[in-house]
Structure 1
Amino acid sequence: MITDLGCHLDIPHSASDAELTAIDMEIRRRVYWGAYVGDKFQSLFLGRPPAMLESAGKVSREYLDSYEELEMWTPYVDPLVESSDATVPAYPGRPSYALSTFRSLLQLCDIAARIIDAFYSINSAEISQDALLETRHDVREQLSQWKNNLSLWLKYDPSTQPTPPPHQVTPQ
């Protein structure tokens, strides 16, 4: 459906040949990359090949609006719970870093797509063991680089840091 809607193409015109606004383009990008991430996770969970290949789309990973990157994130606190309740720990707000977190998740999905293709596709049975071992080495290297290049706020150490927002724990 993403392809049917043309979201896989970063073009400023719609099917009716009307100009798309910058907001429309931004929405299309976010819908496309959100579907891409969902596709990779569903592939992993269901043991199926991905339906969306990165090479099939021509959509920028850059976003025009970066407001939510530094928007403060605070957890939901039930208003019926008294604030003096000692069992409810205080959680200081922190920047959400939503875009940089999502970009890291996109990179991880690219690696996951490579893993699925190399080790779980129909063609993987025809690949020699040496080639598979080399691919495994390359994938491990990619994962190490991905982890080492994570932004500081995505490197979570439970022994020294408070629990990060849920969307930041996901890519780890």
Structure 2
Amino acid sequence: MVLYKLDEYYPNYQNEIFDGYNIKNFDVYAQDNKVGSVTNMMIDDEGYFRYFIVDTGFWVFGKKILLPVGMARINYEDKRVYVPVLTKQQVEDLPEFTEDLATDKDYEERVRGVYRPYMTTPTTGFIYGADIYNYRQEPYFYALNDLNLRMYEERLRARRNNSRVNIL
């Protein structure tokens, strides 16, 4: 499945989808320590949120990484994304995300492979091949626990679908 950056997928996301919040400016915290900032989000071609793009700044050599949306809890008032299971070792092990990178199935599988051992939910019985992967296989990565983020995703999908209908 193709992934798009939020601002490319829906340029007016801040005002029309996120109630004026600029998710790109939210700080990311792991175990009560600031570990970076959200620089964008990745959306699949059906309009589902899949990843936060996080710039780790000086925490890990200025590296950008992908963080599955289901791993995060968001505090909109404080403009923070909390990821209690994120570790420095995970970030060091993750493949670096760059703006010109094509995020294909193999790249996503490498990202999930780093996070998978740290998840508390049993993952036995699944086959993790990039060619046969389905996002519903691992809800702890992609299921939106945050009600506001789920609402924003629904708005994004509805507006995106309406704009496609109007074009036809």
Structure 2 length normalisation: TM-score?
A: 0.23
- Considering fraction of residues, name the structure with more strand: 2
- Considering fraction of residues, name the structure with more helix: 1
- Larger gyration radius, structure 1 or structure 2: 1
